[in-house]
Every structure is written in C-alpha cells, then in structure tokens.
Structure 1
Amino acid sequence: MAEQNDDNRSVSIERLEEGVYLATNKRGDTLRFGSKATDAFSPVELLLAAIAGCSAVDVDVVTGRRSPAEHFSARVDATAVREGGENTLKDIVLTFDVRFPEGEAGDAARTLLPRAVKASHDHTCTVSRTIEAGTPVTVRIAG
C-alpha cells in the first residue's frame, strides 16, 4: 500500500446547476456555494471566511489556554476591484472582537491576544500567509 502524504490538502467540487456547486473535502464534509447560489456563500465570501477562520482557530486555541472568551468574533472586509480586465480584492482587513472575563485568567488571555493575532498573521495562518506570499495557482484540464 502506498504511503499517504499527510501534507496534501484537497477539495473537489461538483456542479449542481449553473453557478451552484458542492465542495467535498477528504473527510466527506460538504459545502454548497456559488455565484448563483443566493442562499449560500459566493467563492469570494468563502475566501474571506477562510482568512478569518484560519486566524480565528489559531487565536482561539492560544488565548483559550488562558481563558475561554466571553465573546469571540472576527470580520474580514475587502474591496473588490477590476483593473485592466482582472478582478482582485484589495485592502483586505481582518478585525477581531474578543472579550474575556474579568479576573486573572481573563487578564492573561487579554495580554496574550495581540501576540496571538500577530503570530497567526506572521507565521501560522496558512490561508493569509499563502495569499500574501502570492503563491502561484496552476490551472489544468484533466485528460
């Protein structure tokens, strides 16, 4: 039996109808999305959710070791731009809104929060790190 590479990440999609797709990961979890799926995320919204989600996981785990948050949310804003016939996002901003309980544990988590956010952005969040690195995407046709 061939050794499986645990570093590989993959998602496949199937078209449900024009502009509506079903993404499936290796574990069999699914997510409906699309440009014409009015009751689901668009591809750009999924990208923004991935940016927030990746850092949220990092920050929540690190600060949660000190104290669970009483409130934990994050928001990603970006400007959609069309320049020279190309669509891109500019000015991507991830904002955390996190509150911890009063007391020693909450104080420790509050103190750690800025460092955890910076570490996620600078080192551990694969999604935003990949975007900022400008990693090329190879596109090909099967067969």
Structure 2
Amino acid sequence: MSDQKLRSVTLRRTEEGRFVATNPHGAAVELGTGDDVFSPVELLLAGIAGCTGMDVAAITARRAEPESFEVSITARKERDDAGNHLADLEVVFRVSFPAGEAGDAAREVLPEAVTRSHTRLCTVSQTVERATPITVRIE
C-alpha cells in the first residue's frame, strides 16, 4: 500500500482503563473508561459525524459560511448471538445559513451534499456500511 493511501493510529495503554491514540502527525486523543474520556464506541461515532460533517461543510461553505453547523449521531448498543455491535445509527444535521443569495445557494445544495457524503465521500461511514473485514495479528 502506498504511503499516500495508508492511514494509521497507534494505541498505547497509559494506566488501567486509559489509552492514548496517536497518529503519525503526533496528534493524540485519550480514550478509555470513565466519564471524562471518550469510549472507543463514542470515537467511532465521532469519526462518522466528523467525516460526513467535514464533507458537507466543505461543499456548502463554498456558497456561504454557516451561521450554525452541528452534526449529531446516535446508535443503540446491541448484544446478541453474533456479539456486540451498534444498531440504528442515525446522523442528524442542524445547519443554518444567512439570509440572502449566498445562503440560499448553500441551503439548496445542502441535501445533495449530505447524500453525496453518505453514499460516496465519507470514508468512515462507507467503511462501516460495507462491513469491511479486519485482520488481527500478534507480533
């Protein structure tokens, strides 16, 4: 795989129930158990919301800067014979644009931008929707 296509994160345990994920650029995020950190499931949801939100913002902001821009995502954690998984994922956009011609143009393209992100552009949601296999190994 070429370096331009490769994406990676390294996870390091810092203490019981706490981990730090670091990307190749040095950005880090703490995760684990407890009320003061994101859980891995919440990070997955944030990845979906962040990916699609960034797509939609890039498309609509070419027409007008939003007055407000919020993306929320919910899911229900299920446990069944197939194991733990999320069900009923729902992404909701709450976006407003200023009055006027530019805001009208942004409002007009918003539904198409959301659809394009969901069906093609957002790598994270496309990966989840396709149920991409994961290879696990021990070194």
Normalising by structure 2, we get a TM-score of 0.97
Cα displacement string for residues 71-122 of structure 1 (whole angstroms, at most 9, x for unaligned residues): 0001001010000161100000000000000000000000000000000001
Report what 1:80 is aligned to: 77
- Displacement of 1:41: 0.3
Match of 1:55 among 52, 60, 80: 52
Match of 1:67 among 64, 69, 90: 64
Normalising by structure 1, we get a TM-score of 0.94
Report what 1:7 is aligned to: 5
Structure 2 gaps of 5+ residues are: none
Structure 2 letter corresponding to 1:45: E
Report what 2:22 is aligned to: 24
Specify the SS of the correspondent of 1:10. Answer: coil
- Displacement of 1:67: 0.1
- Displacement of 1:37: 3.7
Specify the SS of the correspondent of 1:54. Answer: helix
Report the Cα distance in structure 1 between the residues aligned to 2:100 and 2:134, rounded to whole angstroms.
Answer: 47
Count, aligned residues: 139
Structure 2 letter corresponding to 1:111: E
Structure 1 gaps of 5+ residues are: none
Report what 1:117 is aligned to: 114
